[in-house]
Structure 1
Amino acid sequence: MARATIYLLPLLILTLLYLSGTAEPASSTAAASSLNFIKASCSATRYPALCVKSLSNYASAIQKSPRQLAQTALNVSLTRAESTRKFVTKLTKFKGLKSREYAAIRDCLEEIGDSVDRLSKSIGELKHMGKAHGPDFLWHMSNVETWVSAALTDESTCMDGFAGRALDGRIKTSIRAWVTHVAQVTSNALALVNQLAA
């Protein structure tokens, strides 16, 4: 009996080594497959390179789920919108702002706040729609599409307050950079939501 165990031990070790060696490519194949799914889905967005860059870190959670992809894109957009709101809030505390500049920043802050609210609602709607089908699915998706579209409009409206040369300068340039980035990831999220709805 002891002799049989001695012969089985190397065989068992070899089997474990073989299995651990084959498990690695399977997980990397799944990761590559998820990344390919993200790239293919992002190709239909307005900013595909940004789409892939902002979502590829979540490939393991997304896998090949269009719903999880849309959910993640909305979460990314919400996170960026919240960061932008914090940034714009800090700008309201700057000393020496022109009254027109201050008014434009306050208006922008309100618009970004509305955008955050609408993105939050769309994420909640997508999460809580369960396994809805048919008319129920379409109703939920219509709500999500409406809120994300409105969030995109809010982001665009923020920049309207800085139109014209009178407000040119570092404040306008900074806000434009932040808001443009949020608008781009929101546009991508809307495209992925539309794909899911289709």
Structure 2
Amino acid sequence: MCYNSLSSYSSTIKADPIKLCTTPEVPVLKDCVEEMKDTVDELKQAMAELKNLYGGGISKEEHLKNMKTWVSAALTDDTTCTDEFEEEEVNEETKKKVEKAVSELSKTTSNTLALITNYLRF
């Protein structure tokens, strides 16, 4: 698996272990993990707003608007994660796996945003 995932970099890496450690996957995956951590934090904030929907000192509409903001930010972070895979030369197998996982999260996040947005219209 290691060989297959790094074989496309053989002309760049050659036998240099330092180059091996700094292939494009490492920084791109690191950035993507940070974006996903931000996504989780933003979704937690949205959940906190949901828990306080009928209390917490502000109106229900304000809580819903806050939820919309947090979920929208989470969706942006999902997109930012996968955008980097388009900008950098990354192993195709790695790219597909990450994009699949992020896509599933993005679908759920997008559906949540649509539900909140539609609820705010009524």
Normalised to the residue count of structure 1, the TM-score between the two structures is 0.47
Residue in structure 1 matched with residue 89 of structure 2 by the alignment = 166
Matching residue's letter, 2:81: C
Alignment of 1:1-198 (within 5 A): 98-130=22-54, 136-164=59-87, 166-198=89-121
| Structure 1 residues 119-163: Cα deviation after superposition (integer angstroms, max 9, x where no partner) | 01101101112168xx71221111100000000000000001111
Gaps spanning 5+ residues in structure 1: where?
Answer: 1-95
| Aligned 8 A contact 2:75 2:110 in 1 | yes
Alignment partners' CA distance in 2, 1:138 and 1:103:
40
Return the alpha-carbon distance in structure 1 between the equivalents of residues 55 and 118 of structure 2: 17
* 3-state DSSP of counterpart to 1:162: helix
Q: Quick one: distance in 2 between partners of 1:148 and 1:136?
A: 18
Any stretches of 5+ residues in structure 2 without a counterpart?
Answer: 1-19
Larger Rg: 1
**Structure 2 CA distance for aligned equivalents of residues 172 and 97 of structure 1:** 18
> How many percent identity over aligned positions?
35
Instruction: Flag the 1:122–1:136 CA change in 2: closer, same or farther, 3 A.
Output: same
Cα-Cα RMSD: 2.0
Q: Distance in 2 between matches of 1:145 and 1:162?
A: 27
Cα contact 2:71–2:113 (8 A) shared by 1: yes
Distance of 1:105 and 1:183 partners within structure 2: 17
Deviation at 1:99, TM superposition (A): 2.5
Deviations 1:152-182 (A, max 9, x none): 0000000011114721421111001100111
* 1:125 partner amino acid: E
Counterparts of 1:156 and 1:148, CA distance in 2: 13
TM-score (norm 2): 0.74
- Matched to 1:110, the amino acid is E
Structure 1 Cα separation of the partners of residues 88 and 31 of structure 2: 18
